[in-house]
Amino acid sequence: MSDAPTIRRMANAIRALSMDAVEKANSGHPGMPMGMADVATVLFTKILKYDATDPHWIDRDRFVLSAGHGSMLLYSLLHLTGSKEMTIDQLKNFRQIGSKTPGHPERGHTESVETTTGPLGAGISNAVGLALAERILAAEYPTVFDHRTFALCSDGDLMEGISQEAIAIAGHYKLNKLVFLWDDNGISIDGHTSLSDSVDQVARFKACGWDAVHVDGHDAAAIEAAIKATEGSDKPTLIACKTIIGFGAPNKQGTEKVHGSALGAEEVAAARKELGWEYPAFEVPDDLRSAWLDAGKRGQSERKAWEKRFDALDDGVRKDLERRLHGDLPEGFAKAMADYKAKLYAEPKELATRKAGEAALTVVKGELPELVSGSADLTPSNNTLTKNMKVITPDDYAGSFMHWGIREHGMAGAINGMAIHGGILPVGSTFLVFADYCRPPLRLAALMGIRVIQVFTHDSIGVGEDGPTHQPVEHLAALRAIPNLNLFRPCDGIETAEAWEVAVGSLKRPSIFALTRQNLPQLRLKDAGENLTAKGAYEIAAAEGTPVVSLFASGSEVSLAVEAKAALDAAGIPTRVVSVPCYDLFADQSGAYRAEVIGTAPVKIAVEAAIRQGWDAIVGSDGGFVGMSSFGDSGPYKQVYEKFGITADAVVALAKEMSSSVS
């Protein structure tokens, strides 16, 4: 019987497949897969709890390739360990249209890819969320959840600002089942990292409450010992793996030349000789292929033992957990929301939509135990900590509210990870103006099609005294520009409740709430018998006769439009008002419905305390607009609205002017 292949030979299979795929595509990053092949081989053959035959097993260890540019490392691992989807033909079609091997890993596009990575820092922040989700769920289901999260990160990941937010969160919350494997190769695209960086990363991580160690990234025994040593830690761990980028490419290894482009035929041939790899492109010898397939099955016994524990759960507990993992809503949810809205109709209140959001969230949380809320240090302002929530602490994960600190980017990235994990519906919150800090994770959430919810309060110049630094004017347009993302700007408590109903039921689209600081009247006073917010836009006030003017508004400006309508009707100018709580959902409706809602009134005016961008799709390029074309100002919010001409009187004046030219 022949000896089992060495770690180095198994790692060389990764190196060969990676350089062959990049060479065939004439595009890609061979350096990281070749440099980190030894580390990845140790992890997948000696440490990681997974079963390649059941890639969605919920208690598997998670592997996040944060250095997504090195995607061929992951694709090679999936192929070698037995992924049915990741055939050799997929590797040969690396970076080609229609393949399962895109340039950077994409969740939902390629099976076994945990999260979409590539924008540096995104993966490690997702890993923090994955590790946090495991701890929260383990506190509730200790016999079901007990797994670890490993993230392979690059120099670039650790240079990005989000890395500090992510590691500070993980250190504070003692996420001891989280391990970062840092590809410490000292090379970035421009050259040696000393050109731009001199941070002692090990010291930085230790200062943030992590264990951190150095290891030779090409010494299999040392790598295995370092990873196994993390198992008893009460902290997250960074393992700084000192590697040679492009290991095995004799003329380019250790330089930026191997970072982001194909090696070239001569260097590939030289690397084959250097590595002792005597096989043609994309060929793996039988002994290595067999050893890798055995590694892919290594976790089957653990999975089967887990299935027995899962089946032993109380029937009700197991069924509810299955519901949570599928993202389904409980049977009583619809009735609870209907009862809540009935109370609003019976007792209309003037309320800021952030307060209306708090009331609706209380009801939602009461029905959805999987909901985990949080705030980036604006809890009293965001109103996302309800009376039926318990705060999560480093010593007690059995809660449902996270204090993220002033870390909006890290919060949004971690929330993506929590949603990716499954079993948790995460909600974050901050001011709308700080959505800029959250934008990269929001874009990735939309790209992945995951259910995350962000509550952004203080949504306009209605912030008032804090002034233009805190008054968002371009943010609604910027967020609406992201495909597959719903931005809700409700006008009252009813629309806010309806928006929550839509958001929690949107399994493949993230949602944003833009909520007011100032009080607003309840405009919806009669139950329409359906969720009108789900249509994105609808007529909230009909004209008295054939309409001459159609007013379109969102959020706080809907009440201004309704006030203007009364004055225009009195002046003999029949006017209708359309509320547009979700521009994105309105765009999803049929052409017939959109045409009906937009209507045929010759005068169309949009009203929103933000810039005009986007509204021409509804009112036309020749339509009217009452809103912002500059930054705001500091002062009491009513005076700020007056200064910028966002008033019912201004709407009336513009409508009269425009209607006179068409009469």
627-660 pLDDT, tens digit per residue, is: 999 999 999 999 999 999 999 999 999 999 999 9
The residues, any chain, with a CB within 8 Å of residue 410's CB and separated by 6 or more, are: 125, 128, 162, 165, 166, 168, 169, 404
Burial class (CB in 10 A: 0-12, 13-18, 19+), 84: exposed
Model confidence at 2, in pLDDT bands (50, 70, 90)?
very low
Mean pLDDT of the chain: 97
How many alpha carbons lie under 13 Å from residue 362 in its C-beta half-sphere?
12
Q: What is the mean pLDDT of residues 207-220?
A: 98
SS3 category, 562: helix
| pLDDT of 1 above 50 | no
Reported pTM: 0.97
Burial class (CB in 10 A: 0-12, 13-18, 19+), 285: middle
422-458 pLDDT, tens digit per residue, is: 999 999 999 999 999 999 999 999 999 999 999 999 9
pLDDT of residue 662: 81
| pLDDT of 609 above 50 | yes
- Pairing status of strand 519-520 against strand 538-541: unpaired
Q: How many whole angstroms separate alpha carbon 619 and alpha carbon 606? A: 7
Distances (CA, A) of 465 to 195, 475, 517: 44, 19, 12
484-514 pLDDT, tens digit per residue, is: 999 999 999 999 999 999 999 999 999 999 9
The residues, any chain, with a CB within 8 Å of residue 606's CB and separated by 6 or more, are: 551, 552, 553, 612, 615, 618, 619, 623, 624, 625, 626, 627
Q: What is the mean pLDDT of residues 603-626?
A: 98
Q: Which tokens is 107 given?
A: 């969740």
Q: How many whole angstroms separate alpha carbon 8 and alpha carbon 11? A: 5
Percentages of the chain per state (helix, strand, coil), in multiples of 5: 45, 15, 40
Q: How many whole angstroms separate alpha carbon 204 and alpha carbon 202? A: 5
Q: Percent of the chain at pLDDT above 70?
A: 99
Contact criterion met (CB below 8 Å) for 370 and 359: no
Identify which of 130, 145, 63 has the alpha carbon closest to the alpha carbon of residue 426. 130
Q: What is the mean pLDDT of residues 379-400?
A: 98
Identify which of 620, 611, 606, 622 has the alpha carbon closest to the alpha carbon of residue 661. 622
Count of residues in the chain? 663
pLDDT of residue 3: 67
Q: How many whole angstroms separate alpha carbon 548 and alpha carbon 535? A: 24
Residues 358, 361, 365, 367: is their CA dihedral positive or negative? positive
- DSSP letters for 139-167: HH-TTT----EEEEE-HHHHHSHHHHHHH
Q: What is the mean pLDDT of residues 606-612?
A: 98
Identify which of 629, 635, 638 has the alpha carbon closest to the alpha carbon of residue 559. 638
Model confidence at 661, in pLDDT bands (50, 70, 90)?
confident
Model confidence at 556, in pLDDT bands (50, 70, 90)?
very high
Q: What is the mean pLDDT of residues 536-550?
A: 97
pLDDT of residue 532: 98
What is the set of active-site residues?
A: 408
pLDDT of residue 211: 98
Model confidence at 64, in pLDDT bands (50, 70, 90)?
very high
pLDDT of residue 663: 62
Q: What is the mean pLDDT of residues 556-569?
A: 98
SS3 category, 510: coil
311-356 pLDDT, tens digit per residue, is: 999 999 999 999 999 999 999 999 999 999 999 999 999 999 999 9
